[in-house]
Amino acid sequence: MELSVTSTEYTTVNGTSAFVPSPATPYQGDIARYWNAEARPVNLRLGDVDGLYHHHYGIGDVDHAALGDVEDSEYEKKLITELHRLESAQAEVLLDHLGTIGRDDTLVDAGCGRGGSSVMAHQRFGCKVEGVTLSSTQADFGNQRAKELGIDDHVRAQVCNMLDTPFEKGSIAGSWNNESSMYVDLDDLFAEHSRFLKVGGRYVTITGCWNPRYGQPSKWVSQINAHFECNIHSRREYLRAMADNRLVPQAVIDLTPDTLPYWELRATSSLVTGIEEAFINSYKDGSFQYVLIAADRV
């Protein structure tokens, strides 16, 4: 989960037009510091498995045969590999819902983290992927990985505000937020995606949201907010803000049953962060949901 900073319009540097970040709000500054300092093993050790560094969670059934015996000396290594497989499976599902993307298209990964999903998108579609993030540490990390992979001419991360990006109106074929929308106002977020997406372009989000049927955010949701310094929205807020910004949902999929195996496995690992109980309990009591929404720009 991450955010991006407030930005100015274009300015001229050595005769070249450039997009320069302006000072962040106090809240954005706090979030930038949070993610610049973040180096959790649960993110880095999983990424070390194959060089795809994610900042989201996993979906799918656990392959217990691949894990083997818990007493095996290699069990923890196998567990980490399995958690990472579930993470990448989540990103594949998101990319599945982007629709048809051509090699000449450009995609935007809003809140790109260390760039794992951006790399996967380029590998699948052959297109350009522009990542935006608040964290200069994450942007540098993602750009270094793209260079190591020899795809830095197609995959790039930059520090800028996901609510005020440098992309031209109607220039983007598809975009997404993968567990990054809980750091921003949804009306502002979807207004920006609607601005830079071409008509017919596809937007996808996978996100945790509190269930309106529960009444209010539960104590578990409040714990998650405090842990990540974010503000989780309700499912209803997502749909309303999309409707107000010319984004028409084509699919709304409840992934809650699919993500529980990831969390239950992670809770048994050496990579626990202390937030696992809140996710598991809130998913089970129905107060929290893990949802994919795919919407077209009209």
Give the CATH number for residue 115. Answer: 3.40.50.150
pLDDT given at position 177? 98
Give how many domains the chain has, as a whole number.
1
C-alpha–C-alpha distance, residues 97 and 264, integer Å:
26
Residue span of the structural domain in which 153 resides: 24-295
* Burial class of residue 220, CB neighbours in 10 A (0-12, 13-18, 19+): buried
Contact 192, 120 (CB under 8 A): no
For the stretch 126-173, pLDDT in tens is 999 999 999 999 999 999 999 999 999 999 999 998 999 999 999 999
Q: What is the pLDDT of residue 24?
A: 57
Report if residue 86 sits inside a domain: yes
Does residue 283 lie within any of the structural domains? yes
Average pLDDT over residues 107-115: 97
Tell me: the pLDDT tens digits for 173-188? 999 999 999 999 999 9
Q: Rounded to a whole number, what is the largest CA-CA distance in the chain?
A: 63
3-state secondary structure (DSSP) of residue 112: coil
Q: Is residue 271 in a domain?
A: yes
Residue 277 located in a structural domain? yes
Asked whether the predicted pLDDT for residue 74 surpasses 50, the reply is: yes
Higher pLDDT: 21 or 289? It is 289
Q: What is the pLDDT of residues 23-43, one digit of tens each?
A: 357 888 888 888 888 888 888
d(CA 44, CA 50): 11
Residue 12: what pLDDT?
A: 32
Task: DSSP letter for 267, please.
Answer: T
- 253-298 per-position pLDDT tens digit: 999 999 999 999 999 999 999 999 999 999 999 999 999 999 999 9
- Does residue 18 belong to any structural domain of this protein? no
Beta strand spans in the chain (E): 7-13, 16-21, 106-110, 128-133, 155-159, 172-178, 197-210, 247-254, 288-297
Per-residue pLDDT, averaged over 68-96, amounts to 96
Inside any domain, residue 4: no
Is 17 within a domain? no
Q: Confirm whether 101 is domain-assigned.
A: yes
3-state secondary structure at position 61: coil
pTM listed for this prediction: 0.91
Cα 105-106-111 angle, rounded to 5 deg: 155
pLDDT value for 17: 34
